[in-house]
Amino acid sequence: MNDLQSHLQSLYQGMEKAIFHYQGLIEEMKKESEYLKQGSHESLIRSAHSIEIHTTEIQKVNASTGRAIEEILNFLGKDEVEKSISGLMSVLPPADYRKLKAYQRILGSLKERVRQINEWNKSFIQESLNYWKDLVSLLIFPLDDSPVYIPNGHKKPLTNQPYALNWKV
């Protein structure tokens, strides 16, 4: 195996690690969705910790992937090429291009799935908070014409009127 292939192999291994952690992140985010529905606080805390571990690992892998891309481009003497996957793909042989494109496609679909689950969880939390906010506001600030029992059948004004204006006829 020549030096280019060993550098590429290192890059591929990094991308496989990223795929592994994205898949783990997606599974944990699905669990988080269920825990949100159930209202299981302890499980949510454990899930958040697991999500943090996966995201930290993804950040580490992304950093090492960036370094691997830079090393490959330096090895190829392509200093003028953008130091990104797209830039690297533009200078690779067709077989390596296809393999890298496949990894890129998989990672793109996994990232999109993470975004979708995140969006769903966000909207669920916002709807739940709005529900509770509305419920609490009804208890704190009841409606003016609410069908609630009023002592002695008399409504009291919301604001206290001055004594001179508070005459009963």
**In terms of Cα–Cα distance, which of 154, 131, 162, 157 is closest to 144?**
157
**CA 109, CA 90: separation in Å to the nearest integer?**
21
Please, which pLDDT band fits residue 138 given cuts at 50, 70 and 90? confident
67-78 pLDDT tens trace: 999 999 988 888
- For 160, residues 6+ apart whose C-beta sits below 8 A from its C-beta are 166
Residue 128 Cα to chain centre, angstroms: 17
Q: Is the dihedral of CA 50, 53, 56, 58 positive or negative?
A: negative
Q: Which pair of tokens denotes residue 39?
A: 């209202």
Domain around 106: 3-165
Whole-angstrom Cα Rg for the chain: 30
Q: Report pTM.
A: 0.74
Number of structural domains found in the chain: 1
Look at 2-6, 36-40, 147-151 and tell me which has the smallest mean pLDDT. 147-151
94-133 pLDDT tens trace: 999 999 999 999 999 999 999 999 999 898 888 888 887 8
